[in-house]
Structures are given as structure tokens and as C-alpha cells.
Amino acid sequence: MPYVIAAACIDVMDRSCMEECPVDCIYEGERKLYINPVECIDCGACEPACPVSAISQDRRVPAELREFVDDNARFFTQSLPGRDAPLGPAGGANVVGPLGVDTEFIADYQPGTA
Ligand code: F3S
Ligand code: F3S
């Protein structure tokens, strides 16, 4: 079961998680970071690295934050604004660099709405 980044990351983006991930599957958007559920090997190294506790395993995400489970996946399975195709299994955040865009859900997200 992959790990998921939820609301606490939005507009914080500490990035300590990226340095811990052995498979480089934590990708940078404009307001938050996203874990590719296809590439995540569920090692859990990222979870304690986050100073705002934004990361948890998908099955442990609180009910009010469930949308973030689907939304982490959407970042890779839907075409992001300005792109013709989905990122898919992109081969590593260092390969693609910061994407500079978010899913629609995150771009429009206001604290307390999820
Ligand atoms: Fe975000 Fe926490 Fe990583 S704030 S960038 S999930 S260390
Ligand atoms: Fe990486 Fe965290 Fe998954 S460290 S492999 S995103 S559990």
C-alpha cells in the first residue's frame, strides 16, 4: 500500500521527504509534493522525515483526507495543466524536476475544505 502526501504539505513543501526516498518517487508540484503510487515501494522512510506529518500510508489516511489518496495518483494518471500526456511512472523526481503545476484539486484547495 503506497504512502500518500496530504493537506499539511500544501504551501509548506519542506522537501525533507525527497531526500529519504530510495526510489525518488516523490514529485514536486506548485503547492505540494505527490508520491507516485506505482513507483512507491512502501518503505516508509519518508513519513518520519516530514516536519508537519503530511505523509502516511494510504490505508491510514484519516477519513476527512481520503481525497488525497486519489489525488496523489491523479497527479500521474491525468494530464496536468500545460501537458499533453500524463506523467505516468516518470522514472524519478530528479529526472523530471519540479513540475510547477498541481492537480485541479490542489490548485483550488482552501484549508479546511477537504
Ligand atoms: Fe511536504 Fe513534508 Fe515532504 S511538507 S515536501 S511532505 S517533508
Ligand atoms: Fe519513497 Fe516514501 Fe514510498 S520513501 S518509496 S515514497 S514510502
CATH number of the domain that residue 11 is part of: 3.30.70.20
What's the rounded mean pLDDT across residues 85-110? 96
Handedness of CA 111, 35, 59, 77 (dihedral sign): positive
Task: Take atom 2 of ligand 1 and give the residue whose Cα is closest.
Answer: 50
Is-contact 106 32, C-beta < 8 A? Answer: yes
Task: Take atom 1 of ligand 2 and give the residue whose Cα is closest.
Answer: 21
Alpha-carbon separation of residue 47 from 19, 31, 35, 86, 105 (angstroms):
12, 19, 11, 26, 23
Q: Is 26's C-beta closer than 6 angstroms to any atom of ligand 2?
A: yes
pTM: 0.96
Residue 32 domain flag = yes
Q: Which domain holds residue 58?
A: 3-108
Residue 89 domain flag = yes
Q: Is 35's C-beta closer than 6 angstroms to any atom of ligand 2?
A: yes
Residue 7 domain flag = yes
User: How high is the pLDDT of residue 111?
Assistant: 76
Residue 39 confidence (pLDDT) above 80: yes
CB atoms under 10 Å from CB of 13, counted, come to: 18
Residue 114 domain flag = no
- Count, residues in the chain: 114
Tens digits of residue pLDDT in 17-38? 999 999 999 999 999 999 999 9
- Looking at the structure of the chain, the number of domains it has is 1
